[in-house]
Amino acid sequence: MATVCIEEKAFMTMLVAAVEAFPSKYRPDAYRKPKGVSAEGEVHGLLFGQLMDKGDKRIYNVTLAVPNQIVYDRNENGVKASMVHIDRIREITELFPTYQFLGWFHSHPYKHKDFHKKTSVEFSEVDRQSAVEMASDLCQNMIEIIFGLTCLKRMARTKPEFIGTHIIHNCCGIYKYSLACYITQHATVRVESLFLAVDNLICPTGAGMHYSDFLNKS
């Protein structure tokens, strides 16, 4: 059984990175992307933390998320990261004894009319293939977090919702999101079983925020 715990700072890093790169053309306020800035769209990054075994449970404790700043290409449908720069991130981060490389995260930005709390975090065949290949190359099970995101006209009133064992649906300000986590089992023989939903996703910050928490209380 795989349990994934995401600590506050790691969650906040993923949320802020996804919001920063969210396509301006998907915003309801018709905001235009400034000329000359980097391309908007999906974000991609690495996850670090601690890996522990307790009985039959394997626990991935995600304490650090590092977005890839240098990429080959980025748009609303995907992002192509540079392995050279991924290696640089791992090289420096894994010098610290408490940070073990655990997996990846990437975002799925949507227009409001196209966003759905479940389908926004479904993995594509490209997502699955990439995760499987990386886990096979590293000869270890890897986690993959998908952050589905959309932008609203006003502050959302959505209550936190748990969907299955691996999805948390919630809102933060004018952004509505779904956070999903999968695990790639590199040693599994059957190809269709290589990319699975985790058995338990724990993210106190992502699941605990509520509309009223962001209201001004003077």
Question: What tokens does 178 get?
Answer: 């779904």
What pLDDT sits at residue 186? 67
What pLDDT sits at residue 190? 47
Question: What tokens does 66 get?
Answer: 């590092």
Q: Is residue 218 part of a domain?
A: no
What is the C-alpha to C-alpha distance for residues 20 and 190, in angstroms, rounded to an integer? 38
What is the C-alpha to C-alpha distance for residues 93 and 130, in angstroms, rounded to an integer? 22
Query: Which amino acid, 109?
Result: P
- Run of H or E including 131: helix 125-138
Q: Is residue 119 part of a domain?
A: yes
Question: What tokens does 161 get?
Answer: 């919702």
What pLDDT sits at residue 211? 67
Q: Is residue 205 part of a domain?
A: yes
Q: Is residue 8 part of a domain?
A: yes
What pLDDT sits at residue 187? 56
- Run of H or E including 126: helix 125-138
Location of structure tokens 């990439």: 130
Cβ proximity of 38 and 102 under 8 Å = no
Question: What tokens does 123 get?
Answer: 């993995």
* Residue range of the domain that includes 104: 2-213
How far the first Cα of the chain sits from its last, in Å, is 46
Q: What is the CATH number of the domain that holds 99?
A: 3.40.140.10
Q: For residue 45, which of 8, 73, 70, 75 has the smallest C-alpha distance?
A: 70
pLDDT along the chain (218 residues), means of 10: 95 97 90 86 96 92 96 90 93 96 95 95 79 72 94 86 95 94 70 73 90 64
* Size of the chain in residues: 218
Q: Is residue 72 part of a domain?
A: yes
In the chain, the number of structural domains is: 1
- Which residues pair with residue 66 across a beta bridge? 46
What pLDDT sits at residue 31? 77
